[in-house]
Amino acid sequence: MSDIAPHGLHHVTAIASDPQRNVDFYTRVLGLRLVKQTVNFDAPDTYHLYYGDTQGTPSTILTFFPWRDVPSGRQGSGLTTATAFSVPPESMGWWQRHLTGLGLELDGPRTRDGEEVLTLRDPDGMVIDLVAATGDARSGWDGVAGVPAEQAVRGLHSVTMSERLPEATAELLSTTLGMRLQGEDGDRARFAMGAGGAGAVVDVAADSRPRGLQAGGTVHHIAFRASDQATQARWRQELVEAGLRVTEIIDRQYFTSIYFHEPGGVLLEIATDQPGFTVDEPLLELGRSLKLPPWLEPSREQIAAALPPLRVDAPVESS
């Protein structure tokens, strides 16, 4: 099915607790743009917050369901255990100073697959890798006072799926999803999509730990890019024929989606590049106010009243 193979990561969705703390960390510490403030369409009493580059381009997007009273998750097998962002190679020293200056504990940098990797945790304990990636032409978001444009996060780099039976996951990625095995390093295998490189990489790590607990500070699912809805529909058909249980195509307002589980238990999604985040508000206004899809708009008053207030224009404090 290489003709419809994914051409990169679309987004990663994770679980947080306090929404304000989540916004403050991802916008002011990592310098991402809040590109959409909406609700979980399947449970509209919870926010769904989207971060990314200026436009929220697919491959730059990290999203959260902030459930205020969620318990902390536990790392282990059957989970996406790290989400990596791409930063310019020469920015690693700046990031170390910036993050240390804000009181964050860092692990590294160490070298993986020829690139420097710095690891930190967000306020809910989610593992974030910053990878000094060469040849990443994406420009990131330059609208944050505390993070200069030349150091800005460029977008997602890769994800790490931790698996007790990595061969079964590798088989799905390579055979059914058409990804290329790019290299192996100890217990870790790297798969590339499309042109490969930052934003188009999945690492599968052998992990003998017990199954992880998906809750606060863990990844909920990862999504791959389909160029359009026709490709997505063909893809769905191929996955069904391969024996996977796949959802119907679901309207997520900013893209359409299908979901299925890989053999180790990680929830995967295939999402379309279109229509994107400017479908319901102008580029300059992205993320400033609560947006709802047409089918939830009649309940706006009730939905908004149940959500905690969110400050999204907080001034950036100098560190």
Binding footprint of Zn ion on the chain (CB under 5 A): 13, 223, 269
User: In whole angstroms, how close is the CB of 245 to Zn ion at the nearest point?
Assistant: 17
Retrieve residue 153's tokens.
């996060």
Q: Which is nearer to Zn ion, 204 or 258 (CB)?
A: 258
Q: Which is nearer to Zn ion, 162 or 257 (CB)?
A: 257
Residue ranges in 88-165 assigned as alpha helix (H):
92-101
Q: Which is nearer to Zn ion, 223 or 239 (CB)?
A: 223
Q: Residue 109: is the preceding peptide bond cis (ω within 30°)? A: yes
User: In whole angstroms, how close is the CB of 11 to Zn ion at the nearest point?
Assistant: 6
Q: Which is nearer to Zn ion, 85 or 254 (CB)?
A: 254
Retrieve residue 313's tokens.
């224009």
The residues pairing with 74 across neighbouring beta strands, listed in sequence order, are: 213
For the beta carbon of residue 214, count every other beta carbon within 10 angstroms.
Answer: 21
Q: Which is nearer to Zn ion, 11 or 98 (CB)?
A: 11
User: In whole angstroms, how close is the CB of 107 to Zn ion at the nearest point?
Assistant: 27
Identify which of 178, 175, 179 has the alpha carbon closest to the alpha carbon of residue 158: 179
Quick one: CA dihedral 303, 304, 305, 307, positive or negative?
Answer: positive
Instruction: Please tell me the distance from the alpha carbon of residue 193 to that of residue 222, in angstroms, as a whole number.
Output: 14
Identify which of 262, 271, 171, 160 has the alpha carbon closest to the alpha carbon of residue 223: 271
User: In whole angstroms, how close is the CB of 3 to Zn ion at the nearest point?
Assistant: 24
Cβ neighbours of residue 308 under 8 Å, at least 6 residues apart?
19, 20, 68
Q: Which is nearer to Zn ion, 223 or 286 (CB)?
A: 223
The residues pairing with 205 across neighbouring beta strands, listed in sequence order, are: 162, 188
User: In whole angstroms, how close is the CB of 184 to Zn ion at the nearest point?
Assistant: 28
